[in-house]
Chain A
């Protein structure tokens, strides 16, 4: 699904290197967790996967289903099935959530040469997905993310993911700001989407989320590199001992 080879990337504006020789492979159907201290480059990596122009790739490659995506713009990547649930979802004033969903779904369909969804078909899909995430119709009428609580924003991200049916889902701290019940709802939402042809990259600081979304692999990101990889037990280790030992071992 995803293969990142010796990736180096910097901030386009000032040339600061953030990603410094990162390697990561995520197989079809795999759930990979990425952990790491604040500022280690997790969100930056997710933005680079999504194609944000603020960052410039200087070396290495990102292969998605065997093909480099470095030349694709963000909308093209989205259309090919790469989805990013933002750490800080952006407010879109004046645009009802429902309308945003419809435009996003139809733009993607259009780009793939598919027909637009009929209104009843669209409504049915939204209703179903929203109900599962306990998102009210009232919320769907409000402008996207405007005035949403932290938890509502995160649920709205997962709703979009469910409707857009991506192949590679990158969840950037989707658990932060969620209460226990909401965490469970969101995790159920993600688990429902797990399938052999869909991979999930979960960026998180806490084992708690990984209790619900059990990862196949865990990777530690530090200063723009993956310094250790393992299975789910690695996350438990980190929870118990912190990053100090691993960082020292890698140095």
Chain B
């Protein structure tokens, strides 16, 4: 069918031309020697000035990791990773931690400027109102700047790089680190526990509503370097925080590894809203290069009536392996997962969530929108389970897939386990395709093909976009259109 063939061809062209963040920053870097060993872990720990217990924790994880096998159950296909052929630490020379913006290498500042990330403490315009967004900027293995730290501190909120937090608030970190994602959790999480370099730490004390959006911006710049992000967010009783992460990387022919662990803890009546706009370099049109994104994200609704909601817009990475989950431990707690996963070219996505109902009267909601184009594969994998004692658990799951062209694939793999008879689980799934008829209809009304695809796709993802903080919704929508753009001009 000619019209559709053309669309497929156009969409297939999506690659580096559309990736707006593929530039590289040239600055002098300090790296650990290549490869992974106890010595490398000691090197990282020493660079971060860590206390002894942290090093011990890492080394234990490393020993454990040596006994683990890489998982193969996901519907993704990639050549074996040689974990000894990577750099595990790379930081701009003279910068092993965040510093005052005036001291940061101007090249780094320029990088963030190009990426549109505000590193100065300014109000930004979002729609009609202005707002403040605190940023922690992580460049390869190190946090370079964290903004609004002082202002947040006045409100009682701790927002800093995890490396700093380990030094400055060791007791808090010790109390929570690894309690949601144990070091033994899975291959990548265990690796991360051994070698993590930077990420953010957020602590919102009892009764505090965090006065601004918090965000972390991850940038991988150095070649052959893995990024091992570690983020820990704690909301005490009645606290509220909304947090957003963004990520980009230069375009390179080699694949690069990003293996993150994110842990969230919500105590009684607390709420954490965690949003991701993931735009790692996806690889070129032949499927060469791109980030391998193997991520373990989990939230623990530890307190009663607590709430954790994950919203993700995944457009980048060559491979995405990611299942932000909620453990609904507290009675009356609620977990939410809203996802838009766009795959194009040769991208492979295996993503979804786990909602684990342990407490009484817990509820969860899953809205997943997968869009596949090109020759990509897009899998939703989700688990909803209830413990024996979890009375009245409720879940609503809706998984919709949209196919553009007929060389891509969308798959839905739900696992449902109800060990308590009072559970009420609802699952809806649809797969649709932007058909030649739909495109012709739009064209006949004078709507060009790309605008038509954008129109239909925007309609498809609307429900999830609404969940993003307003400051980022427009950005995310644009990003989705760009990811699906075929022929500009």
Which residues of A approach B to under 8 Å, CB–CB?
A: 12-13, 50-54, 73-75, 78-79, 83-84, 86, 89-96, 99-100, 103-104, 107-108, 111, 143, 160, 164
A92 touches B438 (CB 8 A): yes
Residues of chain B within 8 A (CB-CB) of A86 are 441, 444
- In the assembly, what is the distance between CA of A54 and CA of B459, in Å? 27
A-B complex: 6 closest residue pairs judged by Cβ atoms: A94-B459, A78-B446, A74-B443, A108-B446, A104-B445, A53-B2
B443 touches A73 (CB 8 A): yes
- In the assembly, what is the distance between CA of A91 and CA of B435, in Å? 10
Q: A79-B446, A107-B448, A108-B446 are in contact. Are A89 and B3 (CB under 8 A)?
A: no
- In the assembly, what is the distance between CA of A78 and CA of B445, in Å? 6
| Proximity bits, B424-445, A CB within 8 Å = 1, else 0 | 0000000010011110111111
Q: A53-B3, A54-B2, A93-B432 are in contact. Are A84 and B451 (CB under 8 A)?
A: no
Size bin of chain B's contact surface = 20 to 34
| 23 chain-A/chain-B pairs, Cβ below 8 angstroms | A13-B1, A50-B440, A53-B3, A54-B1, A74-B440, A75-B444, A78-B443, A78-B445, A79-B446, A84-B444, A92-B438, A92-B455, A93-B456, A94-B456, A94-B459, A96-B459, A99-B459, A100-B455, A103-B451, A107-B445, A107-B446, A107-B447, A107-B451
- In the assembly, what is the distance between CA of A93 and CA of B438, in Å? 10
- In the assembly, what is the distance between CA of A160 and CA of B442, in Å? 12
Q: A104-B445, A107-B448 are in contact. List 11 more A-B contacts (CB 8 A).
A: A12-B2, A54-B436, A74-B440, A75-B444, A90-B441, A92-B459, A93-B456, A94-B458, A94-B460, A99-B459, A143-B459
Q: A90-B441, A93-B432, A95-B456 are in contact. Are A75 and B3 (CB under 8 A)?
A: no
- In the assembly, what is the distance between CA of A86 and CA of B440, in Å? 11
B459 touches A104 (CB 8 A): no
Residues of chain A within 8 A (CB-CB) of B451 are 103, 107
* Chain A residue at smallest Cβ distance from B449: A75
A111 touches B460 (CB 8 A): no
Whether B462 is near chain A, meaning CB under 8 Å from some CB there, is: yes
B443 touches A95 (CB 8 A): no
Which of B432, B443, B445, B451 is packed against the most chain A CB atoms within 10 Å?
Answer: B445
- In the assembly, what is the distance between CA of A100 and CA of B451, in Å? 11
Q: A103-B447, A164-B446 are in contact. Are A52 and B459 (CB under 8 A)?
A: no
B459 touches A90 (CB 8 A): no
Which of B437, B438, B441, B451 is packed against the most chain A CB atoms within 10 Å?
Answer: B441
B456 touches A50 (CB 8 A): no
B2 touches A164 (CB 8 A): no
B447 touches A92 (CB 8 A): no
Which residues of B approach A to under 8 Å, CB–CB?
A: 1-3, 6, 432, 435-438, 440-449, 451, 455-456, 458-460, 462
A104 touches B456 (CB 8 A): no
Residues of chain B within 8 A (CB-CB) of A96 are 459
Residues of chain A within 8 A (CB-CB) of B459 are 92-96, 99, 143
- In the assembly, what is the distance between CA of A89 and CA of B445, in Å? 12
Residues of chain A within 8 A (CB-CB) of B447 are 75, 103-104, 107
- In the assembly, what is the distance between CA of A52 and CA of B2, in Å? 9
- In the assembly, what is the distance between CA of A99 and CA of B437, in Å? 19
* Chain B residue at smallest Cβ distance from A52: B440
Residues of chain B within 8 A (CB-CB) of A104 are 442, 445-447
- In the assembly, what is the distance between CA of A74 and CA of B452, in Å? 13
Residues of chain B within 8 A (CB-CB) of A103 are 447, 451, 455
* Chain A residue at smallest Cβ distance from B445: A104
Residues of chain A within 8 A (CB-CB) of B449 are 75
* Chain A residue at smallest Cβ distance from B463: A94
Q: A53-B2, A90-B441 are in contact. Are A95 and B446 (CB under 8 A)?
A: no
Residues of chain A within 8 A (CB-CB) of B3 are 52-54
Residues of chain A within 8 A (CB-CB) of B440 are 50, 52, 74, 90
Q: How far is the CB of A161 from chain B (nearest CB, A)?
A: 10
For B445, give its contact among A51, A91, A94, A164 (CB under 8 Å).
A164
* Chain B residue at smallest Cβ distance from A111: B446
- In the assembly, what is the distance between CA of A147 and CA of B1, in Å? 27
Q: How far is the CB of A95 from chain B (nearest CB, A)?
A: 4
Residues of chain B within 8 A (CB-CB) of A95 are 455-456, 458-459
* Chain B residue at smallest Cβ distance from A96: B459
Residues of chain A within 8 A (CB-CB) of B462 are 94
Q: How far is the CB of B434 from chain A (nearest CB, A)?
A: 10
For A78, give its contact among B1, B437, B444, B456 (CB under 8 Å).
B444
Which of B435, B455, B460 is packed against the most chain A CB atoms within 10 Å?
Answer: B455
* Chain A residue at smallest Cβ distance from B441: A90
* Chain B residue at smallest Cβ distance from A143: B459
Q: How far is the CB of A64 from chain B (nearest CB, A)?
A: 15
Residues of chain A within 8 A (CB-CB) of B436 are 54
Which of A92, A143, A160 is packed against the most chain B CB atoms within 10 Å?
Answer: A92
Residues of chain A within 8 A (CB-CB) of B438 are 90-92
Q: How far is the CB of B408 from chain A (nearest CB, A)?
A: 19
Residues of chain A within 8 A (CB-CB) of B445 are 78, 100, 104, 107-108, 160, 164
Q: How far is the CB of A235 from chain B (nearest CB, A)?
A: 27
Q: How far is the CB of A153 from chain B (nearest CB, A)?
A: 12
B446 touches A92 (CB 8 A): no
- In the assembly, what is the distance between CA of A50 and CA of B2, in Å? 15
B444 touches A92 (CB 8 A): no
Residues of chain A within 8 A (CB-CB) of B1 are 13, 54
For A74, give its contact among B435, B444, B456, B458 (CB under 8 Å).
B444
* Chain A residue at smallest Cβ distance from B432: A93
Residues of chain B within 8 A (CB-CB) of A108 are 445-446
